[in-house]
Amino acid sequence: MLLDRLQKFFTAPTTKTFSPRGIFWFALSITFAATYGLIALKQAFRSEYVIEDDVRVFVFWLQQFSDRALLPNDFIVDYYKSVTPPGYAALYQLMAAIGIDAILLSKILPVLLMLLATGYGFALCMEILPVPAAGFIATLLLNQNVWMKTVITSTPRGFVYVLLPAFGYYLLRRSLIPCLVVIILEGLIYPPFEFIIAGVLILRLLRWENGRPGFSQERSDYIFCAAGLGVAVLAMLPYALSSSQFGPTISAAQARAIPEFGIDGRSPFFSDDLVEFFLYGWQSGLLTAGPFEPRWVGWTGFLLPILLLFPSRIPLASKVTSGVTVLLQMAIASLGMFFIAHAVLLKLYFPNRYTYHSLRILIALAAGMALILIFDAMLEWARRQTMGSFYWKQLLAMGVTILFGASLVFYPVYLNSKNYNFPRAPYGVVGSVPQLYEFFAKQPKDILIASLSYEADNLPTFAKRSILAGWEYANPYHLGYYNQIRQRQTDLIRAQYSGDLAEVKAFTQKYGVDFLLLDRSAFTSEYLTKNRWFKQWRSIAKEVQANLQQRVPALSSVLQRCSAWQNEALVVLPAECIVKSASK
């Protein structure tokens, strides 16, 4: 019968992971993940100067593995090198040793990570509900969510999508050595999630039996917990020790007092709206960037625990293994760390780091299983109707199957029809001034460039040359680093708008600046209202505005005489020419 065939193909459990049906659904899962990834790669290679936004911060210095002479004696490099997890840096170093450039790797890594995430997500789902179609739906939802929100990057947090499902899979399989390897990798690549893993290991020691709390009687749980916590501490130690050299970490009171954490600051965090702050804040919110996408099915993940309460009405619920508790434990650990991070604000970095990625994984897995339970219940209900409604049952089952499948598969097509641009690949920064990058790339590798222009952020990546400071690199989290960045930029502002070339000369000599990069509109009042530095430091903007009304900045008098490169928007001034002009 048609209904029997549909039920067997879509919802029948299997005891063999590599059964023909299991292989089919797994291959389909990988096919969709690869398809989304290939579309994203097309965007990544549409131009030579295309990059993911955070890559400019995390990956720019890793180009040193291919050319040791790049970015020498660079204060910004020293900082980001100290806060880069060692396992992450080691991966790029290994790839550089076999000839794969850091920027090239950063473009292909998100696709590779999602393929691995799909594999481990499918495997974890099969450990909980051994229905291959559930694994397909779960990983399809995960891929759609990730590529809708550009949350998969080649930065350390992108590895969470592989390592968290892998941890859950090996934990349920009771594979101690692979599980410990995953814990080590997590600590070496993205240390914040070690707290979540530790939380899961501890929670697995707890039991709720006969209406009372208790402890596990299984020796393996204690072995996993002790071994896991031990290697987690060891894996995090190098990162914790290396990042302390630029301490202290900013306190919540200090952060509230400076504009950098305000709405126009480098790291917008605080908000007077408590709902916005705790639910949707970019760095502080529990539901930042929509973990429930696609919305029409994402919320069904919350139905899973409810469906499991009614095995008589939801027959397939009886096939859900006790391993489902690992999803709850991951959710509790994630939420627990979210609230702990709020309680000790900024000591454990931003709170949503502990839920932003894990909720996406958990909701996708739960939604995939919930949907297949509902679908199976519908088929079972149709099978039990009277024979007089036989054809009606077939039509209903076929119609629901087609509608359900089409809705899942073609959801990205619907998004694109609404000009959503799926997949929303992470490669969102496009260098718009290739001639500028080429100009600086021809200069000596040890030059230093000072600028307030947005384009300064692109120079370490696209031109492979050092900058004095840049908006994307002005991380206010460690004061030992940020205080110097702030001083550098305030000194630059005062020099750039000074009426005396001698002050500009003194500035370039103090920091060893070789070139100044200026926006042509830099000496207009409108520039002071639009430039990010002035929007953040409004007191400095008012000071500069007053100076502009009283006198003409000295640099404006040497723009033409000293210009080494220029276009309609930018001009490059060699410090050597400015020094000579100031000496006349």
Question: Which helix or strand (DSSP H or E) is residue 257 part of?
Answer: helix 252-257
Residue-wise pLDDT for 66-109, tens only, equals 999 999 999 999 999 988 999 999 999 999 999 999 999 999 99
Residue 105: closest CA among 57, 183, 142, 51: 51
pLDDT above 90 (res 5): no
Instruction: Provide mean pLDDT across the span 491-503.
Output: 94
Stretch among 57-61, 204-208, 223-227 having the lowest mean pLDDT: 204-208
**How does pLDDT run across 305-347, given as a tens digit for each residue?**
999 999 888 999 999 999 999 999 999 999 999 999 999 999 8
Per-domain boundaries in the chain: 2-417, 433-583
Q: Is 556 exposed, middle or buried (0-12, 13-18, 19+ CB in 10 A)?
A: middle
Round the CA-based radius of gyration of the chain to a whole number and report it: 28
pLDDT band at 289 (very low <50, low <70, confident <90, very high): low
What pLDDT, on the 0 to 100 scale, is given for residue 207?
A: 82
Answer whether residue 386 shows pLDDT above 60: no
Cis peptide before 294 (omega within 30 of 0): yes
Per residue in 159-217, pLDDT tens? 999 999 999 999 999 999 999 999 999 999 999 999 999 999 999 998 877 777 878 88
| CB 170 within 8 Å of CB 183 | no
Q: Exposed/middle/buried for 12, CB within 10 Å: 0-12, 13-18, 19+?
A: middle
Predicted confidence band at 300 (pLDDT cuts at 50, 70, 90)? Answer: confident
User: Which of 362, 377, 371 has its CA nearest to residue 324?
Assistant: 362
- Higher-confidence position of 401 and 111: 111
Strand order in the sheet with 570-574: 466-467, 448-451, 515-519, 570-574, 565-566
Q: Kindly report each contact of residues 301-305 with a partner whose C-beta sits within 8 Å and lies 24 or more positions away, as own/partner.
A: 301/362, 301/363, 301/364, 301/365, 301/366, 301/367, 301/370, 302/366, 303/370, 303/374, 304/366, 304/367, 304/369, 304/370, 304/373
The β-bridge partners of 506 are: none
Fold type of domain 433-583? Rossmann fold (3.40.50)
Integer Cα distance of 418 and 303 in angstroms: 29
